[in-house]
Structure 1
């Protein structure tokens, strides 16, 4: 007999590919084209006859796939008839690409699937006949493509190719499976000593690493003759092949992008002499995974990559997914892949550069080495990586390899990576240059008072102060403080309620030549006591009621109420204020739990006010709202921007700060022109039904979500997104949000400020690649008060002599020169091998229907989402499932009335509540439906599933929480387990479940849920 009724087995590599198709993630990624061009017209009957001849020689081209007990097998089928079409020469390539974008139908496990190849014949209007065979990778590999092309050309010439045997192919596959079984222990030992390939990769402009096959963009890779010659000479000098130099170059570039672990999957053939003339999947992807030390030389890296690749090639026949435990099946074994051919492309009519319509990895590099030099093609996901970014990756690869070959003993981290234009763009991250006057904000307020002494300066619930009254009151406070022993350079605490006297007291401290130290009345007494002591406060100035919690301090508490304590003091300036002196000390939370005081000088504060005036305009007509607590540094802009320009500041009462309706009324009633607030405060205002005002709106302190920007922008005159750490004086960057925003950035540097996106070695990161933001310029703080260790760690002088502040924030520079904020470095987590930005999940949640606020935290190793504004969580879950990869989807969702906030209005992530202990959504408390009588008892169901796992995995000792992949599970075992569960209890478990909860407990819970849905 030609074949057994059950068909021939699939090889382990084919089984993995079949699993990917069954999960629905592969699209057209596994289509392999073979193109033959005949220069003259051909008759349809001759074409059909040639196709029949080809299929007779290679019966896999007509094979079908059937599943038996979860195991796929190949059986004989009938070939698909040739599709005949006519096309113009101009539309030929588009026609071929359109054909190649259509995948095969793999839906439904209960029926035969296939055939796995088709033939299209295109009659071109210029007389040519172009034939393309589209074969699935299950039956055609790269060598098989050449074989198909050669045999098709022979068949078109009328040659008889003979008859192939499906049974013979099955024998070859079985022989390979036997060899794999024998080699498996050694392969497992080898891969157990290697790190698992990372699931993601950082690349310029890459929005995300693909988790499903994506439509592809194809770019030619060009190498100039000089670089080509250098590779040949370098290969001889380093004792490596040209491909190994290319592979080392890819690893080096990825390492320079900030990837601590780099992995490139290399296509390697598993063909042997006996399979040379047969179709099939005689190929494997072998990951070459490295932890590249940027201090190692390029020569040493080439040698290390060569050694690792050759060691991995020794196990090429065993699919790594079978040999490595703990690694779930992936569509792409590594986030970057490559293939390499050394040949003369004129040897046949097959176009070896014709590309598939889809790509599985973030980048696939297909190199072809010919006698005329190196060429190739780069395939990238169109949706996730722009062509310009992909071209820059190719340019970086060429530049670095060229630099490495020119200086092979130079460290990888020191090799040229960027082109001249990109270096210039990075060097241009400098704000406008503004003169730096030798003055203070107090001097500027005094100057405004001289110009318009009777103009309103400060208003609040306790009335309005003119400029004359404000400056006179500040001078009296200054005299009183001097009389109490305050000297130039001292620090004076300020603990006051939200009244006009707060501003008088603040300016009075500056008038005494001292620096102000905010002590928020809402802070716990212990925190305020620590801050006052740590800063070495001379005394505390404030309202008596506000200072009551501080009565236990051994500091003098000076009342500010109604100015009674200073009524007898003169209204003349008490002392000269040093423009190079200290303006304020403000405390921020420390990573160790101990608050740290940031020292800001007058020069930095003056620069900030001037820079923001340059950006948004400033003048006597300005009327700012002081919405923010003085203990939050951004309040300084709200107070000093208007007062230095002769404008007015209104101090919002406590009730207006907390209640949206009152805040909206205050803005409307007082003629406010400028409002600065955190996103949380803007959300509070919008939720109160505020219908807008022609104000200049500044948003900062937290990332501005795109949905909020879109909602807020039409309601205001201008919207400015601002960013800056306390250590760089309030704001360092700004971005004008357009009327119809499509993304939100933090923009570029303000005046006299420099921005630097650097790696851990303080080297510039390429455009589009995430790095850490460092800030330099006039806004830098002096350091941390009394903490020289922290100052030395946070404020660093770079090799060029610039003093920079290390923000700890992850950003990337866009092609347009704007900075995109990606999140705190300490908000990036690693969960089950995946690098996850909590901020990215939060942004996705904000795109769900009805969600107005969102936060994400980690509890017991699981992601938990917190959302505000929705009554039902099901739509939120559905939205997240559409936009995020599985590993980023929170396990638990919690509805809250509002997100917890710090006194400064920022998210208090540490105050987010724990999810329900049973892992259920904290929703409306509805009980789960009761199990029906037809369902198995949970204990019986657990026993059934456990027995199935034991049978498939051939392992007796399995605990309910053991991971399938830690037990050696792989794609075939998943299919076999699901098939047996379907037979046993009538429930088809989705393959996706095994990626999310690959345990017996997880499978049992899924079966119970599916049974309830069917009941």
Structure 2
């Protein structure tokens, strides 16, 4: 038990290591400084209270010296507030406070905090005299400060153990003479003569790096051109007594030598040998040091220090200190999110430069400290370059195809471009479809009517306006009207349940919603209220929206995607991002005044924005397709609408290839939203002809429609499992990052981090998700973590290789299975649910499969109806299987491999018995089902449900097209498809066969 441990007042003797710091010269502060930068603010008063509480729990922060004893003064360290703009975060110039000593001759405070305030964010610097704390001690105290700021109890560090006691308890090996010879140069050259300030340089490197100290040691040795490099490596001795919580100096500095011609693996082996043989315990400071006369000791040290400075000789090349791995949450609060943590090194008498490392999140902070002199800072930067190259090679960080800077071909926002086009071609056709042709002049007048109505209701810049409409003239006018009013539109899919739509409107904060009259009576707005404006009541007039300036930074639209937390998230896209995409895509896809895109996908799917914006802004036109796609609608669209460019998902492209359609005159077909297989692209090339470019486009909603593309090459891509996604678009950059946060080498798989001018503003009202998904690289580049995996091919292009999470793509929509599971668990009979994407036998695409544990009786149909009433159609599971329990792995995750196969359908024996009694039509339909679903025809009973066998919307259309062609016949095809609502309500083999038979016999389609 250490001295004073029975006393009420915390105290402990000054240890040998701590004695060393007491004899520092006044010119050397000897202060440990941890810098915590973040987004947001730390209130001064709250910080003062947190420091008081944390210092009560960690009394080592309140020490003052009485003789050779540290005693708790009972006074919490002060918080000094400084203007944030005084400090350069790279050179740390401008803050004398960082060079000021603590404690001093009068035995004053040994710790303090500097709060650097800035209008955008704060920075906190925690300072402690090295005589009372080591780096781990400062971190322990700082983490408790943030616990209190978060409203948690501090853990505390009450132990009074000293290094002597710890070494004795740990059973130190035989002590050796480890006093280093003063015959080593420093990594940055000799200390300049005379008084010179200490300086720091910092470098941020992407990724966490195993064997970090060994890699830095090798890099420094090689940079200095030495055969052998010697280093001091501070080691926290707390590792010998787990559970010890002390802020005191419990660190020894063993010598560590590495060979300059060896790899980091050998250097790491040497370091592990030092640690495993207890050499860190043996490398102790002379235990008799506290008993020596401090004045005499000071004079001796100063003499040696003067000799060291004069000769340029030190104990080692550098001191390498690794503070460990820091989680951002440890230094964050509800109002302040830590963006990085690093330490500012110091160097004492006889000491060489110090290189500190902190692994923060998925980045590594490296700081160097030494005395300022002629060209010393430049040498420090050069050394940091060598260290960075060793940890993160430039060849991995830089990609020739990322040099995408290009001035926009089309100037101004989409609104500017629309106005310009209207003035150029007022009488040209902008829209075609069942409602007839609409000119640019008419579309503009109708848009103005919408804009005026919104402005009259106080709608303006960055307001969000809901839009519940189909693919109609009114919808197109509404989009341009919202944008002309300076607001942003929120597209709402009429196919989605009212409750979900109301949730989206509420989440977006929309106070006005535009709706077509067929939807005006639906309960799609929140109970809190939202003014619903019926589009058909807005008649064009002579009024024009006045005084509205649409700026690049203004919000253009908000589109919701599925959320992993069970809550959809609204992606905010600004005009600058939309304009960047428009400029690039118009050029690459050859869009001009003769281009016509069909619009046949939901406005709430950002894939539709290609058709909405590109042709109109180039003077071309849009062919509106209001009906839900089926093979009849698709045939009319491709063969009769005059369309010559097309944007769709690979699933729909595959469907078109299998429907026997004969499109003509197409120039560009763009597939996006899913993986594009080579065989599908090849069939499309043959179908649309050699003059038509088949493009594989990649781009999450968060990167504005599309940020990479690749034209299909029939000579090289036809046999590929997936067509490469190509190279970045103009002003876009792609970085491949491994799971450890490091840039991967060419050919290795990494997650795509997307950067550039098309990155979304963020998620509406979700700062937590913005921090999680929109992050920054080490060089400060803002990036979006896509979750999509890719590798670089020898051609320099990227190939998509799947996801790094559980997200599933369904018809191009990104679905988070957790959101579907949450909806299932809202049913009173469901105890727990699990949803995953599984590959349907005989296919390559995944479908959503649900597994539920029930607490009360419920049928699968009831559960399916329950989900369908809450989620979009594409999020309803293809299969739902009731299980007694969800199997778990040792990590308590659901063991997907142990779940029952969901694509089993009815029992084979019962189905086989029914199969013998099938009529001609049912047998023909069953064979089509077996072919489309890749199942055994003898397993198909009359009650077999198409969706529960793994069918999705695309395969359903393929099945119906085949039944139309092979069973019903072309003359009765439209009558058969008129029964689509009945089939959707009851997609069984019996129902489809019944409708097919009635239609084929000329009796008309049944209404079910």
- Give the structure-2-normalised TM-score: 0.45
Q: Which has the bigger relative contact order, CA under 8 A and spacing at least 6?
A: 1
- Give the structure-1-normalised TM-score: 0.44
